[in-house]
Amino acid sequence: MTSLHLDAEALYRNLLTGVRSMIEAQTVLVGIWSGGAWLAERLQRDLGRSGEHGVISSALHRDDFGSRGMSSSADHTRLPFDVEGSRILLIDDVLYTGRTIRAVINELFDFGRPASVSLVVLVDRGGRELPIEPVYSAARVVLPPDRRLSLVRDEAGRFQFDAMDLGSVNNQDAPAAAAHPPPALTANRCRPSQSIPSSPHASPPSAKSDRSRERSGRARRPAAPDTLAPCLRVCAPELPGVARRS
């Protein structure tokens, strides 16, 4: 791991100035775990705001959970305020493809319908794969795809950046990966926010599912009823030579 020539403390001061100019009475700070959560915690204190900042995790809505897996302890979301009608200011350390932000917004709307959601980041490294852009970034850098940039915090609470060459990491991890291959994916894959229709042979819900929905603060909103399935069953035309599923 090598240090990148970016002054994280200087960039934080720029971020503080930018966030101060866009704060309103109804604005609440929500940091994306983990670097964004550190930034939100320090911003909340330096801005002299009362109450607690929020922390949100992308773990339950990632689009790569099939390959990365999910952990029952990976859900760090804590929103100690009413999301409904709030002006949410999402804070992250490094913005790259935009996929983490997409997952975080899905997670946020599980708790209510905010009045608005804006994004500020410490560093924007480009490379977007989704139409997501911050309203403010303290710095913009260009890095090769095999380079990972992350924010770290020392014991005194000061920030710095670390850059990691993913190629060297993959080479080091290759023997372990070969010895312990990931479990095969089942044919019936879905995102964690979707539900799978029950069947007579379905397994009972696991303790992990219950834990993933236990939240400190507001509970998730109940999912809307599925009104599309009956329409598909009634309205779908018969095709010659194709048997309709019951």
Q: What is the mean pLDDT of each run of 10 residues along the chain (246 residues)?
A: 73 97 94 95 96 93 67 74 97 96 96 97 96 97 90 92 70 39 36 40 45 48 49 43 48
Report the alpha-carbon distance of residue 36 to residue 15 in Å, rounded: 12
- Which pLDDT score, from 0 to 100, does residue 76 have? 87
Per-residue pLDDT at 175: 40
Residue 60 is predicted with a pLDDT of: 85
Is residue 223 assigned to a domain?
A: no
How many structural domains comprise the chain? 1
8 A C-beta contact, residue 162 and residue 8: no
Task: State the Cα torsion 180-185-189-195 to the nearest 10°.
Answer: -60
pLDDT value, residue 239: 44
CA dist., res. 17 & res. 40, Å (int):
14
Look at residue 7 and tell me if it is in a domain. yes
pLDDT of residue 218: 52
Residue with tokens 């305020």: 81
Query: What's the gap between Cα 240 and its chain centre?
Result: 45
CATH number at residue 180: 3.40.50.2020
What pLDDT is stored for residue 115 in this prediction?
Answer: 97
Residue 240 lies inside a defined structural domain of this protein: no
pTM above 0.85, yes or no: no
Q: Does residue 221 fall inside a structural domain?
A: no
Query: Residue 125 corresponds to which tokens in the numbers above?
Result: 């490294």
User: 217 in a domain, yes or no?
Assistant: no
